[in-house]
A and B are shown apart, each in its own frame.
Chain A
């Protein structure tokens, strides 16, 4: 847009004199552009409202009293705001314990996946060796294999090892890297000039030293993206814990929320919507905060996987 405007500028100043009509026409163009942008902005705002509405509905309901929930037409801004729904909503299931469980699961997999994927990506990008490309092709091919095919044997193996009801089946595989993250990091490592590692090699640095002293500091943004993605994946994961964890004491927060819904069948203390919405908000808020603070890194990371893939 900016560039076309400057082309117009040049054509209208051709001959050295800007006529009044030219200036007027330009001004009209500018206002039309401004109006266009305003209309577009309003339209997009309305559309984005559709995306946000469920969140607003969640927060609104989480602050309602029980009669307000069943009011028709629906109430958007409850009065009074019933903040007590939040502490009360946390009492159906031990959310404090579940939060600590989730942190264990998240911390373990983030650590595992970041270190191992960095090591593997280094081997697949910064070292020259026979067979490298064949193996890397297999890495990519494994991304096509649905989890369902591996699910049953994995469950049986972990059962035999006595790992069910522990976080080992969820955390240990992350220490062998993830094809997706290895691929992402490899793409990033390839963009780092080889001169840097060559110089370090001449100075007698080991490959591991180069990885940790040169590559890792330079690839920090990409590593943070991976840590972030993994954290969110683990925080949101439902299927893995569903398969491997039977003991409710081991549940992560996502499963805790689902467990809470089962209380709607409870006769002595039936679950009410404001409590469920308050708990849902509590589960959602940490990831939303994390996303707000790391938005740029996050968006760039996703773009990196899609476009360069």
Chain B
């Protein structure tokens, strides 16, 4: 028995030794920061002076007095509820298209994927120039045809959709994931449906979509989590403007932390973000049982 336990212990030690890098990283760069930010969220901390404990004051301020928080949350929900589905639907349609047999398919696949590997800063520069009110690509063409120009990024109404367009443009990774899922759908199902006389739409709705739902869940969840944390694109493209119309949650959080150095307040915002993401993920997960179809294996 003792020889057995000694061998078990050695096995555990050996396993722990291999995953030691992760354990160190988890303790130092995940668990400690998580607990520390929970503590900071209960303090008033400007980095220069030591943190001062203020209880729930930060949270109360956020909920009761902070209009910008409400606006940022609203903007972020707009992106989550409109931008995520838009990117989701377009990338699935593009993937279904690229899954069809046609000439030059591999070239098209490359082209669709290209935007997603482009450095965000570089694509922001290009889109700033495309959206340019006077001489940008789109307005230049409109102006040449004596049509009214579109104030893409300078209008509070259009800034959000303009940003979503850029986001959809860079959605190549989900196209690739969807493509892999589409290729995995068993051929026999389509053949059986063909024999039964099912049309192309019926086959798409009753075979393609159900068979892809597990991957859809993955893309939806990662898209959701990513959008709640979206920072670089809105920060570089609009700095949250005009008039805070693209002030996303993470942009507002960054501003509090590293522009105003309100570390305590920003930590409270961060924890709220964490909770909001968790709630949304749980909602998606629990409803997924109804719409995700898992093949019995």
Contact = CB atoms under 8 A, between A and B. Distances in A.
Given A3-B191, A41-B104, A149 B177 contact: no
Contacts, number: 283
Most A CB within 10 A of own CB, among B24, B29, B32: B29
B265 to A, nearest CB: 10
A156 interface: yes
19 contacts: A37-B101, A51-B112, A51-B115, A54-B123, A116-B25, A119-B21, A123-B16, A146-B273, A146-B274, A149-B271, A150-B29, A153-B33, A155-B257, A176-B21, A236-B121, A238-B236, A277-B125, A288-B117, A303-B177
Interface string A257-296: 1100100000000000100110111011001100110010
B22 A41 contact: no
B8 A58 contact: no
Given A149-B274, A150-B29, A176 B24 contact: yes
Interface string B201-237: 0000000000000010011000001001101100010
Interface string B31-46: 0111011001000000
Given A145-B274, A146-B273, 12 more contacts: A72-B144, A73-B144, A73-B145, A122-B18, A123-B15, A127-B11, A127-B14, A148-B274, A152-B37, A176-B25, A177-B22, A280-B122
A142 B229 contact: no
Nearest to B51: A156
A202 interface: no
B34 to A, nearest CB: 6
A302 interface: yes
A105 B264 CA distance: 30
A261 B124 CA distance: 11
A138 B26 contact: yes
B70 to A, nearest CB: 18
B21 A175 contact: yes
A152 B270 contact: yes
Complex A-B, nearest 6 residue pairs according to Cβ-Cβ distance, in ascending order: A176-B25, A123-B18, A306-B177, A303-B180, A73-B144, A129-B15
B11 A48 contact: no
A182 B173 CA distance: 19
Contacts of A86: none
B191 A52 contact: no
Most B CB within 10 A of own CB, among A71, A131, A153: A153
Contact of A152 (B12, B120, B174, B263): B263
A182 B22 contact: yes
A137 interface: no
Given A131-B12, A280-B126, A295-B110, A238 B22 contact: no
Contacts of A130: 8, 11-12
Nearest to A113: B21
B94 interface: yes
A43 B174 CA distance: 21
Contacts of A307: 177, 180-181, 184, 215
Interface stretch (B78-86, B134-142, B286-294): B134-142
Interface in A110-126: 116, 119-120, 122-124
A55 B91 CA distance: 19
A235 interface: yes
B59 interface: no
Given A291-B114, A302-B177, A116 B273 contact: no
A243 B258 contact: yes
B215 to A, nearest CB: 6
